[in-house]
A and B are shown apart, each in its own frame.
Chain A
Amino acid sequence: MVERSLIRRSAPHLILIIAIFVIVFPIWLIFVASSRSLPEILNAPMPSIPGSHLLENYGMALVEGSKNLGSPALTMLKNSLIMALGISVGKIVVSLLASFAIVFFDFKLRKFCFWSIFITLMLPVEVRIMPTYKVVADLGMLNTYWGLILPMIVSATAVFLFRQFFMSLPREIAEASQIDGASPGQFFRRILVPMTRTPIAAMFVIQFIYGWNQYLWPLLITTKQEYYTLLIGITRMLAVGESQVEWHIVMATTLLAMMPPVVVVVAMQKQFVTGMTDTEK
């Protein structure tokens, strides 16, 4: 607008570059550490440029894992992926069905169903973690993928987004398909779901990240190594007590754990931003 001088024009650039540096610096350090040998890291200060052990460290993390853990990153990568996909896909499917029923049908318990779902928005998992743990234990779902996934599908954010979207569609669409003799199921599969592509994509990004980054819940219910997710593995690798943390392996695993959600966000930035700002309001 009015600002003209060179200093004023370059100030925002300078500020943003400093901010990006502060945000990216820790991540750069992890990358450097994941490419160096353990003695190089332990001999503080660690050099700030990558070393020559990159492939070796990642290979070791993926196939063998840390000594005290006994679970390779490949297994944990698989578990994290199953959990993230289970939560995101499961939540989308269940929510699409529920919002379809709530918007396109008139039934006695409609209000009741809506409010029961609505109230779940109020209590994050962390708050009811102990009682939920007990329920899952009673159901025999500790150390299972079901136990990892199902309690995380509860919250109603997706139902809200889809409900809002369905209500904004012109009423003629459903009416016309009914007149043309399409069953509700056909309408849902062939017309409604294809029209909902964008909100579904937005929801997928958000829920995938949410699922991948879950920590407290898997920490409680996975006590067997074959069900550890990456984040749990990292914690266990760091909790070595008296013995030396194998930083090079931990850092390689950390970077592996960070990449998938980052790739999803960068690749789908637009859907992600609209999805976030739409669901929350």
Chain B
Amino acid sequence: MAKQYEFPNRGLPYLLVLPQMLIVAVFFFWPAAQALWQSLYVQDAFGITLIFVGMENYIKLFKDPNYTSSLIRTFVFSGLVAFTAMAISLFLAVQANRKISFSTFYKTMLIWPYAVATLIAGVLWLFMFNPTVGVVAYFLKHSFGVDWNHIQNSAQAFLLVTLASSWKQISYNFVFFLAGLQNVPATLVEAAAIDGAGPSRRFWGIIFPLLSPTTFYLLVMNLVFAFFETFPIIHQMTQGGPNQATSILVYKVYQDGYINLNLGASAAQSVVLMIIVIGLTVFQFRFLERKITY
């Protein structure tokens, strides 16, 4: 891109970036630095003095079976949420992208749930599956004999937070897949149809590869969502339980830092999370640079 015209002024630009830079410094760099620094210390029993312990907080963290199992659980959970939400959205976007009547109505109906807060998604599913008042829980019990109680059953709890999180993410993915599908040149697809490729061949052979930048971008965004932004769902529905079954990393940071006030461990966990996000971001840039278009 060409360089923009530049006003000859020395002082003004500093004044203009000042508010943004102040906010970034106070609410981004300072806390990030504090997390790094704090992760190297432990507090004594009375919370008065800090003792430098180097990497000990980290070593303890990875030796703690609660933490490593939470780490694995988080990856499984994120993978499941990303896959479910993306597969359903792509399927729906393909349907809505056809030249059919009411397609505008369908699109609007599938897009607006984006505005529903993650917490509210949790409340909705909680209300449906509540063991005493939930309509779905009642239905499961009386039609299938399934005794639904996610407060005690770990597998059910895990399934419930996975479903609620995927539900929440469908609209977001739908918007992007739809935009991606609209950019697929119709001539290519028509040419393939004329050559005798059936609908599924056209989809997997032409449309899906052309969508790969969108798919890849969404994969990263969905992983980030499942990793970090599902906190309201977990906090609302299961509080990490039963038996840590739904305690993902972000929830643990909150629990250890805010509830149990174990600041050193919590700071070390924050740093691990930062490394995971930075890893994902770098991965994304690397991949995008290679431009996965055909």
Q: Does A30 contact B (CB under 8 A)?
A: yes
**Interchain CB contact under 8 A, B128 and A231:** no
Residues in chain A near residue B92, CB distance under 8 A: 15-16, 19
Q: Quick one: closest A residue to B32, CB to CB?
A: A128
Convert B194-225 into 0s and 1s, putting 1 for each residue whose CB lies closer than 8 angstroms to a CB of A: 00000100000000000000000100010010
Residues in chain A near residue B38, CB distance under 8 A: 131
Q: Does A265 contact B (CB under 8 A)?
A: yes
**Interchain CB contact under 8 A, B133 and A44:** yes
Residues in chain B near residue A46, CB distance under 8 A: 133, 135
Docked pose: A24 CA to B124 CA in angstroms: 10
**Interchain CB contact under 8 A, B277 and A123:** yes
Residues in chain A near residue B171, CB distance under 8 A: 23
Residues in chain B near residue A120, CB distance under 8 A: 24, 28
Q: Does A203 contact B (CB under 8 A)?
A: no
Q: Does A2 contact B (CB under 8 A)?
A: yes
Residues in chain A near residue B187, CB distance under 8 A: none
Partner of B100, one of A12, A27, A130, A139: A12
**Interchain CB contact under 8 A, A124 and B224:** yes
Partner of A277, one of B35, B115, B175: B175
Query: How big is the B interface, by class?
Result: 35 or more
Interface residue tally for chain A (C-beta within 8 Å):
105
**Interchain CB contact under 8 A, A105 and B13:** yes
Docked pose: A33 CA to B98 CA in angstroms: 36
**Interchain CB contact under 8 A, A135 and B127:** no
If A129-B253, A159-B20 touch, whether A261 touches B117 (CB-CB below 8 Å) is: yes
Docked pose: A250 CA to B118 CA in angstroms: 16
Q: Does B50 contact A (CB under 8 A)?
A: no
Residues in chain A near residue B170, CB distance under 8 A: 23
Partner of B4, one of A129, A166, A209, A238: A166
**Interchain CB contact under 8 A, B19 and A94:** yes
Q: Does A63 contact B (CB under 8 A)?
A: no
Convert A169-212 into 0s and 1s, putting 1 for each residue whose CB lies closer than 8 angstroms to a CB of B: 10111110010000010010000000000000000000001001
If A26-B124, A44-B132, A109-B14 touch, whether A128 touches B31 (CB-CB below 8 Å) is: yes
A/B interface sample: 11 pairs, CB < 8 A? A2-B199, A23-B171, A29-B128, A100-B16, A104-B4, A129-B270, A151-B27, A178-B5, A215-B118, A258-B117, A269-B111
- Smallest CB-CB A-B distances: 5 pairs: A131-B31, A101-B16, A213-B117, A105-B13, A261-B115
